[in-house]
Each structure stands twice: as structure tokens, then as C-alpha cells.
């Protein structure tokens, strides 16, 4: 398994894709699929997480800090 490299941005930001979404993953993943995953699903994850951490000690935390703090909160198979 490859180690997961977490981005160093604050989770309140929604980073652009680090590739040309129009052609970079064709023909394996279509632009439409990438638009749906990144533009809708990923954006929703960022929005919901920001809502959940608003007003807490994690409000200005990095993504890595949020993941580490949430690790203890996961239920059913989270480790």
C-alpha cells in the first residue's frame, strides 16, 4: 500500500484538481465523471466538514489534524 500524502491546505479551502480535468484521465475516467466526483461530491465533503468543525478547536486546523482528531470518533471498523 502506498502511504497517503495529505495536502497541507486548511480544510476550509476547496483546492482545484492538480491536473487538466478535460483530458488527463481519459479514457479511463471521463471528464463528466471527474466533474461529478470533484465538483459535487468532494465539494460536499468539504462543505459538510467545515459545518461540523465550525466553532470547535478544529476550525482552523489542517486536514491532517482533522483526520487525526476524527480517528478516535470513527465507529464500526474505523481505525
12-25 per-position pLDDT tens digit: 677 777 778 777 78
- pTM for the structure as a whole: 0.59
The whole-number pLDDT of residue 72 equals: 62
Contact (Cβ atoms closer than 8 angstroms) between residue 49 and residue 11: yes
Among 1-5, 30-34, 49-53, where is mean pLDDT lowest? Answer: 1-5
User: pLDDT value at position 68?
Assistant: 84
Residue 67 has pLDDT above 50, yes or no: yes
Task: Tell whether the model's pLDDT for residue 7 goes beyond 70.
Answer: no
Cα(79)–Cα(46) distance, rounded to whole angstroms? 21
Distances in Å between the Cα of 6 and the Cα atoms of 22, 30, 62, 63, 68 are 24, 25, 9, 7, 11
Q: What is the pLDDT of residue 6?
A: 47
Rounded Cα–Cα distance for residues 28 and 17 (Å): 17
Amino acid at each position: 500500500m502506498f502511504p497517503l500524502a495529505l495536502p497541507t491546505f486548511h480544510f476550509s479551502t476547496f483546492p482545484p484538481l492538480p491536473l487538466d480535468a478535460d483530458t488527463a484521465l481519459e479514457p479511463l475516467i471521463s471528464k463528466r465523471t471527474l466533474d461529478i466526483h470533484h465538483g459535487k461530491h468532494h465539494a460536499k465533503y468539504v462543505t459538510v466538514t467545515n459545518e461540523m468543525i465550525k466553532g470547535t478547536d478544529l476550525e482552523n486546523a489542517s486536514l491532517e489534524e482533522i483526520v487525526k482528531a476524527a480517528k478516535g470518533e470513527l465507529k464500526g471498523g474505523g481505525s
